[in-house]
Structures are given as structure tokens and as C-alpha cells.
């Protein structure tokens, strides 16, 4: 089976590198499946759990957002943060999820807060938390 090199880099480290068969990502223009020999491209990534296939095994990696560059023989993910399932602190992600959810509910209920709630920031924080929970096997 043909392979393509995957390198996931965060600001402080190389999170993951391996030869894989397929990567499925949620980009800013929708879901994309990247196979070996894919045409070159660059796209933005939204917070989600990327799906990676090696042989018959599928694994998840949480990505908080960033960019992906694809070359026919290599995929580079430049992530603002990314974690393998074993690296995810589930309790921390659950707390982040609850915090973001409460902020969004307060906004929906028209509650006035000081400082005011930034809805876009809360929505993205919710998506980051969900990506971590999903990657660690704790789907909501």
C-alpha cells in the first residue's frame, strides 16, 4: 500500500511523524481525504480530531487549528496545538468544554457580563475542547 509522510508540528515540538496511508481532515473549506500522490495544496484547518489511517488501523489526533501543506510525498500540519490521545488531559478538556458552553448559554440568555463574552472565542474554545474529547474517545 502506498504511503505518504505525515509531520504534525506545534509551536514547541514535532507532535507526530510517520508514514501513513490516508489522512482525513476538517479544513476551512470542508472535509478532505489526503492520499499518497495528492496534488500540492495549502489549506486552513479548523479545530477537530484528524483521522489517520495506517494499514487497517485508524487513529485520531486532536488539532486546535492551523494550516496543512500537502505535497505528493508529504503532508505537513502546522498546528497552533495538537495532541495524541495519550497526551490529552480529559478533565481539563471537559472543564474547557463546560466553560465555553456556559459562556455561550449566558450569551443566548442575553445575560450581561463584565467583561463581555466574545462569542466567536467561546465557539472556537468549545470546538477545541470537543476535538480533544473526541480524540481521547470521550465523544459528546
Binding-site ranges for ligand ATP (CB under 6 A): 64, 81, 83, 87-89, 92-93, 96, 125, 128, 132
Nearer to ligand ATP, 58 or 89 (CB): 89
Nearer to ligand ATP, 19 or 105 (CB): 105
Distance CA 126, CA 103 (A): 10
Nearer to ligand ATP, 103 or 128 (CB): 128
Nearer to ligand ATP, 84 or 107 (CB): 84
- Is-contact 42 27, C-beta < 8 A? no
Residue 95's closest CA among 132, 56, 63, 58? 132
H or E segment and range at residue 33: strand 30-34
Least separation in angstroms between residue 67's CB and ligand ATP is 15
Q: What are phi and psi of 88, to 5 degrees?
A: -85, 130
Least separation in angstroms between residue 72's CB and ligand ATP is 29
Residue 47's closest CA among 62, 23, 72, 64? 64
Least separation in angstroms between residue 31's CB and ligand ATP is 21
End-to-end Cα distance, the chain: 34
Least separation in angstroms between residue 44's CB and ligand ATP is 16
Amino acid at each position: 500500500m502506498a504511503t505518504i509522510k505525515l509531520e504534525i508540528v506545534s509551536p514547541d515540538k514535532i507532535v507526530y511523524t510517520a508514514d501513513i496511508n490516508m489522512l482525513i481532515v476538517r479544513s476551512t473549506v470542508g472535509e478532505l481525504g489526503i492520499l499518497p500522490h495528492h496534488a500540492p495544496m495549502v489549506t486552513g484547518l479548523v479545530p477537530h480530531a484528524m483521522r489517520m489511517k495506517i494499514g487497517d488501523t485508524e487513529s485520531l489526533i486532536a488539532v486546535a487549528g492551523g494550516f496543512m501543506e500537502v505535497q505528493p510525498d508529504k503532508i505537513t500540519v502546522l498546528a497552533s496545538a495538537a495532541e495524541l490521545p495519550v497526551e490529552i488531559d480529559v478533565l481539563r478538556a471537559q472543564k474547557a468544554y463546560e466553560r465555553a458552553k456556559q459562556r455561550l448559554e449566558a450569551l443566548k440568555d442575553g445575560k450581561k457580563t463584565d467583561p463581555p463574552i466574545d462569542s466567536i472565542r467561546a465557539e472556537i474554545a468549545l470546538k477545541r475542547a470537543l476535538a480533544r474529547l473526541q480524540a481521547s474517545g470521550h465523544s459528546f
